[in-house]
Amino acid sequence: MKPRILVLRTDGTNCDGETLFAFDQAGGDARLVHINELRGGFAKLADYQVMVIPGGFSYGDDVHSGKILAVELVSTLTEQLLTFLAAGKPVLGVCNGFQVLVRTGILPGGSPGPISLALMGNDSGHFECRWIRLRVEKSDCIFTRGLEGRVLDIMVAHGEGKLYTDPGRLAEMEARNQIVFRYVGADGEPTDRYPDNPNGSSRAVAGLCDPKGLVLGLMPHPERIVEVTQHPNWRRGGFHDPPALYIFRNAVDYVRAM
């Protein structure tokens, strides 16, 4: 049986189709589920093994990016969410999904609670869509097993992706190996320099996980680079077996072994 992947959808979700495809390529059985189906009892989180909050502009990013959906998740689906997390099932949030996870408090702590991080407006002051380099850091994240040290070409497309928190909190996350991805320059080293670091994120952080490595959030879009022809320079040669696909495969493999 293929593991069942829930791709959460609501007003303004717009990276759902490609996320579905990425998980299908990775061997999962991915389904789009509208949050109203969960709220109305027509679908249950418990029937799925992975939950994904894909990119987009949930509820127009009104107030803050991802905020309205974050409030809705923790206020109206509290029980289901807690049970899902307590069962040790993986959760992935990409771009807007990352913003939602941060605004529920699920990141970095692993369960809903006070908000300790912010994803603020980019230093450039505007939405930006470009290819950047992402280094996979050493962490306990189940999504990046076997990818450690690799540098991935990947697209960012966001206006609010600057990770900000107090230095103490950041050091704590670093000490716990919670930093999963960093923006790096051509030399493969983390950078504050625009546009290699496209938003001005503190210590070049692009993605992070909870202490158990089960909840991953990142600003760049791995689901947009799961096929060779999605790379901007595949015609120049040297790009095979898209590494980002392994992020999805790792999740599928992990829950298969559960």
Q: Which sequence positions are flagged as catalytic?
A: 95, 221, 223
Contacts of 60 (CB under 8 A, 6+ apart): 11, 12
Question: In angstroms, what is the minimal distance from the CB of 166 to another protein?
Answer: 8
**Dihedrals φ, ψ of 75, to 5°?**
-90, -35
Can you tell me which of 130, 138, 150, 256 binds another protein, judged by CB under 8 A? 130
* Half-sphere CA count of 124, side-chain side, radius 13 A: 17
Nearest C-alpha neighbor of 222 from the set 27, 52, 102: 52
Number of residues forming the site for another protein (CB under 8 A): 63
55 sits near another protein (criterion: CB under 8 A): yes
| 3-state DSSP assignment of residue 18 | helix
Can you tell me which of 83, 113, 232, 258 binds another protein, judged by CB under 8 A? 232
196 sits near another protein (criterion: CB under 8 A): no
Pick out residues in 92-121 that bind another protein (CB under 8 A): 103, 115-118, 120-121
Strands 50-53 and 118-120: unpaired
Distance between first and last Cα of the chain: 13
Q: Which residues bind another protein (CB under 8 A)?
A: 9, 11-15, 17-18, 21-22, 25, 34, 36-37, 40, 55-57, 59-60, 62-64, 67-68, 71-72, 75-76, 103, 115-118, 120-131, 155, 157, 164-165, 194-195, 221, 223-224, 226-227, 229-230, 232-233, 235-236
